[in-house]
Amino acid sequence: MHIGFASPFVPQELTDLLDCESRKKVAQVVGVWATPVTALVRELHKRGHGITVFALDPGAKEKLRLAGERLVVHVLPARPLRKCVLDVYLAERRLLREAILAERPEVISAQWTREHALGALSTGFPTAVTCHDTPLRYAWISKGIFMWYHLPIAWWVIRKAALLICVSPYTAQHIKRFFWPRAPVEVIPNGLPPEVFERGARRLARGRAVSDAPFTFCSVGRWGRMKNIAALLEAFARVRRARPDTRLVLFGPGLGPAEAAEQWARSRGLDQSVEFRGSASREKILDFLEAEADMMVHPSLVETHGMTIIEAMACGVPVVGGLKSGAVPWTLEHGRCGYLCDVTDPDSIARTMLEAMSRGPANAELAQRAYESVRDRFPIESVAEAYERIFARLARGGACGAARSAH
């Protein structure tokens, strides 16, 4: 089957699948993060499907076509967001439409409910839209003007799609409750490739690498209201007063040296024993999880199905997450595979961190349960099989027919 993906993308993550000429060109591309999509594209390609990716990239100066065996990646230039909002991504929608019509995939997988989905749906080709967020909750929490701007876009996309895929039951509930979709709604979580689980197997077999090293908490996110790193910094200061033999390592945009998080923490005296690593490649973060982290604290106020959390679990790292943070309790099996607390309260986070530290051998048992949970629930092979079934239905017109009969 020829499957199109309209999605943010980082073509460098598929360099090994590209031909020699395209490998030379890919150095020109910045790309836009889309970790859940990369693993899915790789797995579907591995299964023999033809894959064409259509990706908008604000760093691109011109259109670029990269190719390999059964693989094409269209990198399409995108304007700055402030310019796109004036005409609702008109230029970007045209670029996507032209590229898709030229390649003519049998079905399209549009990832996220924004500009890529707008372009894909304008072609008239059978399109499944994957909802990676809960638009109304995200807008309400972030209070960001662009989040509110994209609400009517999400509404139009959700109502127009031939079929909707949600990455967790929580996400599906939100979409059904607030957006009244006309199409069938399926739940397919994000998936992880085998090499991530291999990291966890090695770590769990080895145990804690250095017994006398400081207990290492980590978090992966970005600075801002949504990911709530400020609450973690306040909590860690309380933890450190009780347990000076601890450190906190932060990864993500705005969390680097001299960036917003460090400036904020330093001005309040909350930067002691905190390492601000900032943006890092996924491989570097996975290396850190496997070799150095003792526990991940994920204070995000809402997640639909956080890749950060399932990657930590797959690497054998215990996780602390939010009791009311969207799909986080579902991902952690409501406390069976991780610690849950009120992430809006730094005292609650600190108490949970200290309690988790004190459990010693019990954390190894919890890490083993969490590892087995994600290995059973979220392997990329199972995710790809579920997408294949949906694409086959779309190609036959099954989803569209189901949607018509339901209304």
Domain residue ranges of the chain, discontinuous segments joined by +? 2-191+380-406, 194-377
Residue 265: how many CB atoms within 10 A of its CB?
23
pTM: 0.93
Strand 64-68 relative to strand 71-77, pairing: antiparallel
Backbone Cα Rg of the chain: 21
* Tens of pLDDT, residue by residue, the chain (407 residues): 999 999 999 999 999 999 999 999 988 888 888 889 999 999 999 999 999 999 999 999 899 999 999 999 999 999 999 899 899 999 999 999 999 999 999 999 999 999 999 999 999 999 999 999 999 999 999 888 988 999 999 999 999 999 999 999 999 999 999 999 999 999 999 999 999 999 999 999 988 655 678 999 999 999 999 999 999 999 999 999 999 999 999 999 999 999 999 999 999 999 999 999 999 999 999 999 999 999 999 999 999 999 999 999 999 999 999 999 999 999 999 999 999 999 999 999 999 999 999 998 889 999 999 999 999 999 999 999 999 999 999 998 854 433 333 33
Q: Which helix (H) or strand (E) holds 91?
A: helix 90-103
- Picking from 203, 200, 156, the residue whose alpha carbon sits closest to that of residue 180 is 156
Provide the pLDDT for residue 209.
Answer: 58
Alpha helices in 274-360 (DSSP H): 282-291, 307-314, 328-331, 346-358
Q: Which two tokens stand for residue 250?
A: 């932060």
Q: Which two tokens stand for residue 303?
A: 């997640």
- Picking from 218, 189, 204, the residue whose alpha carbon sits closest to that of residue 370 is 204
Hey, do 2-191+380-406 and 194-377 end up sharing a CATH topology, with the first three levels equal? yes
Domain 2-191+380-406, CATH 2.40.280.10 — does that match? no
Q: What is the largest CA-CA distance in the chain?
A: 64
CATH superfamily of 194-377: Glycogen Phosphorylase B; (3.40.50.2000)
| Angstrom distance (rounded) from CA 3 to CA 20 | 23
Q: Which two tokens stand for residue 376?
A: 């059973």
